[in-house]
């Protein structure tokens, strides 16, 4: 029996897979890296909506990267956990890549008897037995250290999205008529760093800031805008988004 026949030819080879959160993204990654690296999965639901892993391609001996954002996080987190469980005994190594990480807003205890949600979710991920985690621009960069604190053997990479954002804006926008803005005070440093690099190439690119008043988990009472916006395209740079409309005075609309 040769190596290919007994399956050892795939030992350590790269493979990528995903759940249902954003299959288009992973298909694009597969086209860049090679579609033969893509492990197909079939995920369904039982009648009570419980997640059901129907089938997963063979991952035996392979270095698997499971790419799955966790926007609308509950179902997507469960898919990650179950997919890892499906390949954990056969894959040589499993790294979970999370482009958008849900439950990261509550990364500290604001008042007594409030959970630190990100700690609980990180413990769930580390508890699946994976070997590594890759995050993109977490809500609080310090949170990237949580998995390593839980398991010192965990390998964690926290990637900055600035290069991707700048490349996209340089190619797709008329920067002379564009204002780069931060959606809140907390995101000012990152938005300003993006603006500074764009400003070097296009000195007329503007910078602005949105100051949110009366914020809560359910909404925002008022938004005050500072900066040059009139007649310009505004690009808000933030790690989280929600669809809302505001008039020129910052009042929330439909």
Nearest residue to 184 via CA among 208, 160, 167: 208
| pLDDT (0 to 100) of residue 94 | 98
User: What topology does CATH give the domain 162-237?
Assistant: Rossmann fold (3.40.50)
> CB–CB of 159/137 below 8 Å?
yes
Tens digit of pLDDT for each residue in 28-37?
A: 999 999 989 9
The tokens for 66 are: 């499971």
Q: Tell which wins on pLDDT, 163 or 133.
A: 133
DSSP 193: H
Tens digit of pLDDT for each residue in 143-174?
A: 899 999 999 999 999 998 888 889 999 999 99
Confidence of residue 112 (pLDDT cuts 50, 70, 90): low
Q: What's the CA gap between 147 and 127, in Å, rounded?
A: 10
Confidence of residue 8 (pLDDT cuts 50, 70, 90): very low
Q: What's the CA gap between 101 and 137, in Å, rounded?
A: 9
**Hey, where are the domains in the chain?**
3-159, 162-237
User: What topology does CATH give the domain 3-159?
Assistant: Rossmann fold (3.40.50)
The mean pLDDT of the chain is 85
| Strand residue runs (E) in the chain | 14-17, 41-45, 51-56, 63-67, 93-98, 132-136, 155-159, 178-182, 206-215, 220-227, 233-237
Tens digit of pLDDT for each residue in 19-30?
A: 999 999 999 999
Q: What is the pLDDT averaged over residues 99-123?
A: 79
Q: Tell which wins on pLDDT, 113 or 134.
A: 134
| pLDDT (0 to 100) of residue 89 | 93
Confidence of residue 114 (pLDDT cuts 50, 70, 90): confident
| pLDDT (0 to 100) of residue 218 | 61
Q: What are 45's strand-pairing partners?
A: 51
The answer to whether the 3-159 and 162-237 domains have the same CATH topology is yes
| pLDDT (0 to 100) of residue 1 | 40
Q: What's the CA gap between 106 and 103, in Å, rounded?
A: 7
| pLDDT (0 to 100) of residue 39 | 96
Confidence of residue 7 (pLDDT cuts 50, 70, 90): very low
Q: What's the CA gap between 220 and 50, in Å, rounded?
A: 34
Q: What is the pLDDT averaged over residues 57-86?
A: 94
Tens digit of pLDDT for each residue in 208-235?
A: 998 877 655 666 667 788 888 889 999 9
Q: Does residue 4 carry a pLDDT above 90?
A: no
- Strands 233-237 and 220-227: what pairing? unpaired
CB under 8 Å to 141, separation ≥6 — which residues? 158
Q: What's the CA gap between 30 and 65, in Å, rounded?
A: 11
């Amino acid at each position: 029996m040769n190596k290919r026949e007994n399956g050892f030819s795939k030992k350590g080879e790269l493979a990528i897979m995903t759940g249902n959160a954003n299959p288009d993204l992973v298909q694009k990654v597969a086209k860049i890296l090679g579609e033969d690296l893509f492990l197909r999965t079939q995920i369904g639901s039982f009648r009570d909506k419980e997640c059901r892993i129907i089938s997963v391609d063979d991952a035996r001996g392979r270095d698997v990267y499971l790419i799955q954002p966790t926007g609308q996080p509950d179902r997507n987190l469960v898919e990650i956990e179950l997919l890892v469980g499906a390949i954990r005994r056969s894959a040589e190594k499993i790294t979970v890549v999370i482009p958008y990480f849900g439950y990261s807003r509550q990364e500290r205890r604001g008042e007594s008897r409030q959970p630190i949600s990100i700690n609980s979710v990180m413990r769930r991920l580390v508890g699946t037995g994976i070997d590594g985690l890759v995050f993109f621009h977490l809500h609080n960069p310090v949170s990237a250290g949580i998995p390593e604190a839980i398991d010192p053997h965990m390998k964690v990479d926290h990637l900055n999205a600035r290069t991707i954002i700048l490349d996209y804006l340089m190619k797709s926008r008329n920067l002379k008529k564009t204002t780069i803005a931060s959606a809140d005070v907390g995101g000012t440093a990152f938005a300003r760093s993006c603006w500074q690099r764009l400003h070097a190439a296009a000195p007329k690119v503007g910078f602005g800031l949105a100051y949110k008043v009366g914020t809560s988990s359910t909404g925002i009472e008022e938004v005050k805008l500072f900066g040059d916006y009139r007649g310009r395209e505004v690009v808000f740079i933030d790690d989280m988004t929600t669809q809302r409309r505001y008039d020129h005075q910052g009042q929330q609309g439909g």
